[in-house]
Amino acid sequence: MKSHLGKRVIATATAGIVLLGATAALAGLKGGWPAYVYKSADGSGYAFGSMAAIRGSGDSYQDIRCTITWASANCSVTDSTGKYLGCQTTDPIMMAAARTFGTDSGMQINVNASGTCTGIYIYNFSAWAPKAP
């Protein structure tokens, strides 16, 4: 009787752990990138952030944006301390990437010393919640 009860307790505990694991898996990964700016002395650098994390931040500095016209794209990130990094490009491939930047996306820009974009990367992950007011 003693060993039978032990097996029942172990089976119940195992079932509980499996159910907890299943609940966590169904909830899904959640997160976001607050604005981050790295700028070297010559003005080159990189910056990134996600719309939801930046929109939901408690400060009034963080900002991420891309303005796209028929001729160019201008993208920028400002972090929580007010540090800014921006760039411009007329490269059609980078402009196409910038056009995919949406209200629930993340973005990284790489910038050379003259302020030209050397890379624009757009990230769309299910882990990022929609931006809040």
- The residue ranges of every structural domain in the chain are 1-29, 36-123
- State pLDDT tens for residues 95-108: 999 999 988 899 99
Confidence of residue 116 (pLDDT cuts 50, 70, 90): very high
Beta bridge partners, 120, equal 109
List C-alpha distances in Å: 54 to 39, 67, 75, 124: 19, 17, 15, 15
For the chain, the average pLDDT equals 82
pLDDT of amino acid 18: 37
Residue with tokens 């990284």: 108
Percent of the chain at pLDDT > 70 equals 74
Whether 127 has a pLDDT exceeding 80, the answer reads no
Confidence of residue 125 (pLDDT cuts 50, 70, 90): confident
- State pLDDT tens for residues 19-60: 334 444 445 667 789 999 999 999 999 999 998 899 889 899
Contacts of 122 (CB under 8 A, 6+ apart): 97, 98, 100, 101, 105, 106, 107
Whether 128 has a pLDDT exceeding 90, the answer reads no
> What is the rounded average pLDDT of the residues 73-77?
98
